[in-house]
A and B are shown apart, each in its own frame.
Chain A
């Protein structure tokens, strides 16, 4: 059941928040041992919140579509009085004294917070094989990674523990797990959703967004969490819109960019075929497909890597003498960041500005871009290299190759399932829009994606 379906059932009195919450907790209890999606389960508090939601709804006090709905947040969103680890042993006992802005908004909207989802250590990686809290497993095939760093959020949604879990995305960390787990993952425009109260990784690259089982659910959550927050210095004052698309929206006449360079190079053939089929589907709905060359995405990826290496290492510098507190992959990245000169960081931010201008020209020709989210489907746990077209590639670099640049540009992007590979593993389509075009990309996604995405039978 999707979030909005559950909300409708609540208002028809067919089900109560207490029943929805009990079902979520039961599913977590049954499936968490094999997926490790949830790091902290807040059963007692959730039952209390559900009871309160039922009482409020009975009194006619309706706080909106999330009222009484069980949800989860990645374990880097501060939760007052509840441990928030960031997937790190450094913060294993960290209990915040305040809620993140997103948590405040969800709670104000009446959502029932059932738990905190597991993640890649410090959100700095794509496997979610956490050395301190265990590997998170993909519900479609538990020998495979769910992607990351918001792996627990994607796995929890795909496994049906919750209909929505919040994630964060610094170099693809919402969209990659959405692709690997076959769910919807929305990275809004930089500044659209407050970062206040979240553990940062790359200050100028971090974005917060939902993972859901339907496109409309993602829009409903964005309606709740978007908006100006003076506590986040990068928060936008641009007015929010209604982000929930119609059930059967029209995309007739919209111009969809088909990149002729970069995005369709070095892809698994099943991924290539599924994403090209999405273009045909959009065309059959009346959209115009516009082949075009995109600016130098490889260069932008390099720029984004320099920025992230420097920002993450600057942030964690005070802890880097405790080398045994980090997993080897994260420590290697943090060491690299310490060796970059400050001039490289400044010049990367200058290149970013120049490339932002190049990319802006593209929006006069198209309304959105379609690309694959990831060039491969979910790799096996422990796999560090993958072979595409006979060439061996580093799994982390391959997996982030099609998503990382979008963070440097701060553009909104959504990953939606668009098929499955020969093994039945989900394939993700990335839809990218110009700044603050969340409503448009969600409308396009809704036109192409089933009302509820296919989920594994568990």
Chain B
């Protein structure tokens, strides 16, 4: 599946202040374009209530262990 537009990786790199040489950007552009084309359509089907598979816990793990041990 393809997108109807392509990102300009050189401009993105410059805008983000990344010191990536143009030659290196040219070598990776196709991989990034392919990844974009594969990834972008997947997001369209993503339900808004789906939370990321990342978990932040307010207590540190050693604190949690103490609490659980006491329990």
Contact = CB atoms under 8 A, between A and B. Distances in A.
Interface of A: 204, 230-233, 237, 298-299, 302-303, 305-306, 309, 321, 331-332, 335-336, 338-339, 344, 346-354, 356
B58 interface: no
Nearest to A301: B38
B28 A305 contact: no
A350 B20 contact: no
Interface of B: 9, 12-13, 16, 18-20, 24-25, 27-28, 31-32, 35, 38-39, 42-43, 46-47, 50-54, 57, 61-62, 64-65, 68
Contact of A332 (B18, B24, B54): B24
A305 B31 CA distance: 11
A350 B38 contact: no
Q: Which 3 A-B pairs have the closest CB atoms?
A: A349-B52, A302-B38, A353-B53
Contacts of A344: 39
Contacts of A346: 52
Given A230-B62, A230-B65, A303-B42, A336 B28 contact: yes
B19 A339 contact: no
Contacts of B13: 338-339
B6 to A, nearest CB: 13
B46 A347 contact: yes
A354 B46 contact: yes
A350 B62 contact: no
A349 B62 CA distance: 26
A296 to B, nearest CB: 9
A205 B21 CA distance: 29
B42 A338 contact: no
B35 A302 contact: yes
A350 B46 contact: yes
B20 A335 contact: yes
Given A230-B65, A306-B35, A344-B39, A350 B53 contact: yes
Contact of B42 (A232, A302, A356): A302
A338 B9 CA distance: 11
Contacts of A331: 24
Nearest to A306: B39
B34 to A, nearest CB: 9
A105 B61 CA distance: 20
B47 to A, nearest CB: 7
B48 to A, nearest CB: 9
B47 A338 contact: no
B53 A349 contact: yes
A231 B46 contact: no
Contact of A347 (B16, B27, B43, B57): B43
Given A302-B38, A335-B20, A356 B53 contact: yes
Given A204-B53, A233-B61, A339-B9, A351 B42 contact: yes
Given A347-B52, A350-B53, 19 more contacts: A230-B62, A230-B65, A299-B38, A302-B35, A302-B39, A306-B35, A309-B35, A332-B27, A335-B18, A335-B28, A336-B28, A336-B35, A338-B13, A339-B16, A347-B43, A348-B39, A349-B52, A351-B43, A352-B52
